[in-house]
Structure 1
């Protein structure tokens, strides 16, 4: 389409791109000090064979009509025209909404499909359902931070103020003596951020802090969770036991009179109740270093010396997403804050508590003075919702009661699910169960760029353009650059952007004006940009008009250095700036949570034994962490992602002793299994992983050898075949996908070829 470089942006970095003689050349943004290699995934993505070129309808749905069907995921597709697709989709949505009401429609999508602020698939599908049928059943929270997003408002008042507006990396590099990170600070995670990320600065700030004298300590089963630049210490811990370790550290602080009692008395409530628990006042069990050592695998002496190293220092405590993506994930999030409070650190420069520091490129950054506005989604007239990770529960158990954040709710009866820009077969757990859940639907409609596993389970597939094929504006509240996302290539085949698809469907449903407000996609971009421009003018910030911005390709916005303000304001003036909690203070004990009377999340943080523990059948932990070669499962077929596989499979890592005892060698194909299924993965052996632990990152597209099997074998290495689909607790019902238990063995047979990137059988009429 073009030989002139165009500006563009992605969740993993801004760039310029040029398409010449069908070869795409991507050049990272010149201002990025540490560009992400994930940008290379674009280079072969435009015309890959797995792209979807035309609307498709599943053969079984077309021949038999809507209804539950076990053939989803294992059926042929029939190519149809857009005219046929619009008629089928609008007719089915009308049927379901009229017969069963909008409360029978689930609006899926997970929001990560594009860094563009207008072509944000989640906003588009929600706006469409709100303006055409009056609403939809929604999901709340995220797979990444489902437990934290519920517990933090109870104990500190605001999650975003602790995470996205927390203590900045710049401040840490200048003031912090010790950064104790539970779950690490892996740079593979901070290379991505929703809305875009023009400057990857974490590596530089970590290096600066270490050179100044900051001590970095990473508590994790994986040494690789701490960058080399930190020059830090790796404390290997058994997965899922961080809460026990923190309780023991608190016990040591209290026993040695190292806790900051003045801070705890003035700014916190409930310390006395937690101390009673630490000392075993009710049950006789001391939560001391010896007790924790037997649980977490770190010696009692090291636990005691670690507490001593924290005392009297400027300390930053961080807790990664990973810790709360597990059973009782609320507890380490709560305890990280308590540990910081016991040390008297919240509100001090470079001290305090940072939830998810390093987990996303947003965190630890400064905020823009003015941000680009979001697309309005309209009013949702349906009150029903689910915690996002309870998707299978909802589809399999309509009408069943569930607990969430002190409420007893019921799962709605969903007939139609609409997914745009998301792949739940990447981020959901127990994929055989998820498949059974999707098979209960009357109809599943999916907008997709390529044949993901979710698209292969759809009844109607609408081909969507990828970000390089449409224009948008890329920006995030914590990124000082705003980018014109100029199209690089023409749409693949007959693909259309989500807005165009929804606008045509809204027209057929008689709601075009309500959805489009009379605007084209370009006019929406101009409208949203003008709103930002007006806000800038109110604050005496000069920005070019839209046409000038589009020609230049980028602009820079001023930022505020107000990270950590919530706890800093509390510390400076607790009467004027109380926290938005019932007490106005940090809640070490929460009467609200205690009154919920849920045994799996009591009124103060505790140690609760997980059900997922190694035994004779499944003797090893499996860590299913985020991949380094892609964002979630996006562009898994991309050049960089594929280059880091072996024999086409995802790579698992295990300790040399675990490999030796099983006769497994580097480069072997291994089978990893438990009662839910099995996956094949290529083998890497490393001392950077704790003995007794296997690491297999998420993101490999689900590729079952037998799609209808009760206990599937994934040829490609998707660990969510194995992970447990239960809530973190009755409080948050978050995702438990980080940790499970498995067995591993060398795969002795001829390994079947991976077919994840082979399109399904398509029939043309």
Structure 2
């Protein structure tokens, strides 16, 4: 048995408990570390890492920071207060919280209350319109780029993509933007970097880098690599220099899996990443490796989590999540064939569902007097929006959905319906703070003339 959970259970009531029960299901039935079952895998760079020995919490609301991350739904609560430790500034890079996080009206209010907002992005997004400074970045097609969502098992892969277009005038890649800020702040001197510049071989560079990482430069390792190793990389791949450190760490963390994939060490792995235009096999895992990758001190999966077991015991299975006032369950942000994140803003690229319609079952549409291509009003506790209607027999009665990634400002016109105008930042999991986007109580009405 193999299970992969995603946004359905992760963004619905009891999301943390659902994730916990899912893991109990495959772990207690012996479906771990074997073929056809659940397996943990190697990483080039872990997307997130949680240290259970550190109980990190946000400064204002005391919310747990699992994987060292602030839950998005509490960000406004950490700003809209007179608490002395409230958030006062924000750098937003390649994200659009005003549009893409819950409760857009409250997120706009929060950003407007900050002393400083800096946005780094490829477009003038909804969030950028609330920023004090917008630093235009080159797009993924105009710079060396990669993704760290390397999820394959047992053959894990990685692909460093070369640029296919020249960057637009006035734009910079993110590495150069941060490098200019660090230079302006004077955080690193020429003397600090001299030993790295003077290294004539990669081996000498590695030794100099090791010494540098033992001092004040450790937190600025990506910048140090960008300034020293970066200019020496072929084909202008300067902003890929940070992968040298990632490759070294990967080879030290998974030495057997890296060698099975054909890389003698971290240096060889880095060279393979640079020289392969089609991607490489990063590591070649074995099923026994899954136990070594668990990440606990004793190499075991700790199934008994008292706080979650207590939550299960307290579950009220009779709780009603809808009401007479809001009888529908709205999935606010359904993934569809031609919806994506908010980078792709031109509505002309969508070949189907160009209106971003509200999908509703035939039974509910008939009861409400709704017609295909008509318009409905969707109302939640946070407000109302108008939405085009699509009658769809894949929808269950009582369930409606709006797609993600719409309601964008393009050419000074709104395209489609923004689902987070309807969501509430308080409608969230009490443990992890996860938004319940897939289960928003709503009311649907026919728009009358």
- Please give the TM-score of this superposition, normalised by the length of structure 2: 0.70
| CA distances 1:162-215 after superposition (whole Å, capped 9, x unpaired) | xxxxxxxxxxxxxx5xxxxxxxxxxxxxxxxxxxxxxxxxxxxxxxxxxxxxxx
Let me know the Cα RMSD of the aligned residues.
Answer: 4.0
Q: 1:458 aligns with which of 131, 145, 148?
A: 131
Aligned equivalent of 1:439: 112
Contact 1:373 1:528 in 2 (8 A): no
Aligned equivalent of 2:240: 525
Q: How far apart, CA to CA, are the structure 1 residues paired with 2:33 and 2:117?
A: 51
Matched, 1:668 2:374: yes
Aligned equivalent of 2:173: 497
Q: How far apart, CA to CA, are the structure 2 residues paired with 1:330 and 1:614?
A: 24
Give how far 1:327 is off: 3.2
Alignment of 1:619-698 (within 5 A): 619-628=327-336, 629-637=338-346, 640=349, 642-646=350-354, 649-698=355-404
Contact 2:103 2:424 in 1 (8 A): yes
Give how far 1:373 is off: 8.5
Q: How far apart, CA to CA, are the structure 1 residues paired with 2:242 and 2:433?
A: 38
Q: Give the 3-state SS of the residue equivalent to 1:658 in structure 2.
A: helix
Give how far 1:449 is off: 0.7
Aligned equivalent of 2:103: 430
Where structure 2 has 5 or more consecutive residues not aligned to the other structure, the ranges are: 48-55, 60-64, 190-216, 232-236
Where structure 1 has 5 or more consecutive residues not aligned to the other structure, the ranges are: 1-175, 177-315, 355-363, 375-380, 400-410, 570-575, 595-600, 708-713, 750-765
Aligned equivalent of 2:201: none
Aligned equivalent of 1:560: 285
Q: How far apart, CA to CA, are the structure 2 residues paired with 1:553 and 1:694?
A: 43
Compared CA separation, residues 591 and 715, structure 1 to 2 (3 A): same
| CA distances 1:54-77 after superposition (whole Å, capped 9, x unpaired) | xxxxxxxxxxxxxxxxxxxxxxxx
Contact 1:526 1:546 in 2 (8 A): no
Q: Which has the higher contact order (CA 8 A, sep 6+)?
A: 1
Q: How far apart, CA to CA, are the structure 2 residues paired with 1:492 and 1:684?
A: 39
| CA distances 1:408-454 after superposition (whole Å, capped 9, x unpaired) | xxx93122111111111343212112222222112211111112211
Q: Give the 3-state SS of the residue equivalent to 1:434 in structure 2.
A: helix
Q: How far apart, CA to CA, are the structure 2 residues paired with 1:545 and 1:335?
A: 38
Q: Give the 3-state SS of the residue equivalent to 2:377 in structure 1.
A: strand
Q: How far apart, CA to CA, are the structure 1 residues paired with 2:375 and 2:124?
A: 25
Q: How far apart, CA to CA, are the structure 2 residues paired with 1:467 and 1:443?
A: 27
Q: How far apart, CA to CA, are the structure 1 residues paired with 2:426 and 2:344?
A: 28
Compared CA separation, residues 715 and 619, structure 1 to 2 (3 A): farther
Q: Give the 3-state SS of the residue equivalent to 2:431 in structure 1.
A: coil
Compared CA separation, residues 657 and 453, structure 1 to 2 (3 A): same
Contact 2:342 2:405 in 1 (8 A): yes
Aligned equivalent of 2:436: 736
| Paired positions, count | 376
| CA distances 1:685-730 after superposition (whole Å, capped 9, x unpaired) | 11111011111122114559x99xxxxxx86211111122126444
Give how far 1:509 is off: 1.4
Matched, 1:397 2:81: yes
Q: Give the 3-state SS of the residue equivalent to 2:368 in structure 1.
A: coil
Q: How far apart, CA to CA, are the structure 2 residues paired with 1:699 and 1:563?
A: 41
Compared CA separation, residues 467 and 318, structure 1 to 2 (3 A): closer
Alignment of 1:458-477 (within 5 A): 458-474=131-147, 476-477=149-150
Give how far 1:524 is off: 5.5
Q: Give the 3-state SS of the residue equivalent to 1:643 in structure 2.
A: coil
Aligned equivalent of 1:487: 163
Q: How far apart, CA to CA, are the structure 2 residues paired with 1:612 and 1:677?
A: 18
Compared CA separation, residues 679 and 703, structure 1 to 2 (3 A): farther
Q: How far apart, CA to CA, are the structure 1 residues paired with 2:446 and 2:11?
A: 29
Aligned equivalent of 1:5: none
Q: How far apart, CA to CA, are the structure 2 residues paired with 1:502 and 1:382?
A: 27
Compared CA separation, residues 729 and 553, structure 1 to 2 (3 A): closer
